[in-house]
Amino acid sequence: YKSKNWTASLESGYAFDIGHSANRAWYIEPEAQVIFNRYHAPKHVEANGTEVSVAQGGGVTTRLGARLYTRELDMNQNRVQPFIETNWWHNGQAQAVAFNGEQQAAQTAKDIFEVKAGVQAELGKGWAGWGHAGVQMGAGHQRGGEAQVGVKYSW
């Protein structure tokens, strides 16, 4: 069984300075993204004789969102950047597989709303860290959650 997946993404955003306090700057960053995806796999026959094939293996997904964040103005301090982000994801086409020619489409929401909160930090001497938690909500009681933590060292 051999499959191929091709994905391309185009993303754009710009941070607008919306204000300052004594030691912090505040920004809002609208973002837009278009993801093109193409999946192909040859027909496969299972041990019981069922023929499995890709009925719909591609499409376009779009994302519109905005991130609100703040950062330290003092460049000599560790720069901590907390944020909150919202996104609207639109899945243009449901993925589908066929069993003996009978198509079964994925029962996922076409439109998903996402909220994330997290922090990015420049920790000094080449070290950076980040973390966020988020939830997704869609039609038909579709729900999801995620969390991510990372550390990076650059030299």
Comparing CA positions, the residue from 121, 118, 122, 128 lying closest to residue 148 is 118
Q: What is the pLDDT of residue 152?
A: 96
Q: Coil, strand or helix: which one is 15?
A: coil
The domain in which residue 125 lies consists of 4-153
Averaged over successive runs of 10 residues, the pLDDT of the chain (155 residues) comes to 88 96 93 92 87 82 97 79 97 82 82 97 90 94 95 95
Q: What is the pLDDT of residue 1?
A: 67
Q: What is the pLDDT of residue 45?
A: 86
What CATH number is given to the structural domain containing 32?
Answer: 2.40.128.130
Comparing CA positions, the residue from 143, 140, 83 lying closest to residue 113 is 143
What is the tally of structural domains in the chain? 1
Which residue in this structure is represented by tokens 């950062």? 71
Calculate the CA dihedral of residues 104, 109, 111, 117 and round it to 10 degrees.
-130
